[in-house]
Structure 1
Amino acid sequence: MKRIGILGGTFNPPHTGHLLIANEVRYAGDLDEVWLMPTAVPPHKTAAGDATAEQRLHMVKLAVDEIEGLRASSFEIERGGVSYTYDTMSQLIQDEPQHEFYFIIGGDMIDQLPTWYKIDELLQIIKFIGVKRPGAVSASDFPVQMVETPQLDLSSTLIRQRFLEGGTVQLLLPPAVEAYIREERLYGSSTSSK
C-alpha cells in the first residue's frame, strides 16, 4: 500500500513554495508520493479568471516534471464543480483503495478546519499533515500531524502581481512555468522577462 500525500490548491500559478512544501512533507511524512491536485472550482478562494483549470493543471505538470516523488493530478479538474475535500477524498479512496491518503494543509487552512464541509466525516477517512505558514496560528483541536518545513512567505497572488507589473519572478517559480505563462500571456505578462 502506497502512502500518498495530496496537496490541493488553485496553483494559479504553481510556485517554489508549493514544491518546497510537497517535497519536505514527502520526506518528513515518509510518503511514497505527493500529488499536487489543482481545484476545478475552489470553495475557499476564487482565483482571477485569467488561467483556466486546464492551464493551471498544465503548469503543475511542468513544475513537477523532473522532481522525483511529486506528481500532478487531474482528479478534481476531471470531476469538475466545487472542490470540497470530503467529496474529493471519498471518491479518490473509492477509486484507489490500494493507497493510504494524507491531506496536506497550510497553517491558514488548519485555522479554518472547524468550518470545513463534513470535517468530522473527513477525519474518519484521511489523516491531515499540516505545515506552518507565516502569519497563521496553525493550531487545531483536530488531529493534525505537524511537519516542520522552511517557511517561505510566497503566494500566487504576489507572482501574478509581479507579472502584471513587469517585475522579476526569477526563482519564485520553475523556469518552465514562467516560460509557459509568458507564451500564453497569462496574468498580463509579456513574452520577455527582466
Structure 2
Amino acid sequence: MLIGIMGGTFDPIHTGHLVAAETALEEAGLDEVWFMPANIPPHKPNTPLASPDQRLEMVSLAIDSHPSYRAVDVELTRGGTSYTYDTVTRLQQLYPDHRFHYIIGADMVMYLPKWHQIEKLSEMVTFLGVGRPGFDIDLEALPSHLRSRIKLMTMPAMEISSTDIRERIRNGRSIRYRVPESVRLYIERSGIYGS
C-alpha cells in the first residue's frame, strides 16, 4: 500500500488540512492518508493547547466519514519529541510492505534541510509538498539528496490556520466551515480554547 502521512499538531485540525490530504491522495495516487498528531512538535515552541487525547479525538471526528483516511496515535503513544525520522522508522518496522510519502505544506519544503536526520529520512520517504497557487519554491536551492525526493502539488488557496481558529474562538467569533462540523461541536462541548 502507498500511504501518505499527514503529521501536525492538529490544534485543531481544520479544513485546510483535509483539502491538502485530499489533494495528495488524488495527485500522488495514495491508497490511504494517515493523520498523525504530534506529541511534542520539534519546530513549534509552544505546547499544544488541546491535550493529546483531545487532538486525536478531533482528528478522528474530522475524518470519520472518509474511507481512505485513518487516525494514527504512533507519536502520541511514543511520547517525547515527535521527530519524523523516528516515526517513519517505527512505521517501516510495523508495516514493512507499505511505502510512505510524507505530506507537508509547501512553506515547509525549504525548511526540510533543518529536519532531524533529514538525509536518512529522505531515503525512506517521498515528500509531497502541497501549496497554494503562485507559491514559489526553489528546489534547486535544496541539497541534491532532497531535490529528487520532493513532489510538488497545488491545492486551492485557503487562508485557514489553527492559530486563526483559536484566536476566533477566544474572540467569540464563528469557526463554522473552517473546521468540520463534528469538530466545531466537540470544541464547543469540551470548552477547548476557551469556547
TM over 0.5: yes
Q: In structure 1, what residue type is equivalent to 2:88?
A: M
Alignment of 1:117-136 (within 5 A): 117-133=116-132
Give the TM-score normalised by structure 1.
0.92
Q: Distance in 2 between matches of 1:77 and 1:50?
A: 15
Change (3 A) 1:122 1:48: closer
The separation in 1 between residues aligned to 2:105 and 2:46, in whole angstroms, is 18
Q: 1:158 to 1:114 in 2, by over 3 A?
A: same
- TM-score scaled to structure 2, two decimals? 0.91
User: Which range is displaced more, 139-148 or 37-46?
Assistant: 139-148
User: CA shift at 1:135, angstroms?
Assistant: 9.1
Kindly indicate whether the alpha-carbon contact (under 8 Å) linking 2:40 and 2:47 is maintained by their aligned counterparts in 1: no
CA-atom RMSD, angstroms? 1.5
CA distance in 2, matches of 1:162, 1:108: 23
Paired positions, count: 188
Give the whole-Å Cα distance in 2 for the aligned partners of 1:136 and 1:76.
30
Matched to 1:155, the amino acid is S
Match of 1:157 among 163, 187, 190: 163
CA contact (8 A) 2:4 2:25 kept: yes
User: CA–CA distance in 2 between the matches of 1:29 and 1:154?
Assistant: 23
Name the CA shift for 1:46/1:56 in 2 (closer, same or farther; >3 Å): farther
Contact 2:14 2:180 in 1 (8 A): yes
CA apart distance, 1:76: 0.7
1:62 offset after TM fit, Å? 0.2
Where does the alignment leave 5 or more consecutive residues of structure 2 unmatched?
A: none
Residue in 1 that maps onto 2:194: 188
Q: Which amino acid aligns with 2:73?
A: S
Letter paired with 1:157: T
Cα distance in 2, alignment partners of residues 81 and 95 from structure 1: 20
Residue 39 (structure 2) aligns with: 40
Report the Cα offset of residue 68 of structure 1: 2.3
Contact 1:10 1:47 in 2 (8 A): no
Match of 1:177 among 183, 189, 193: 183
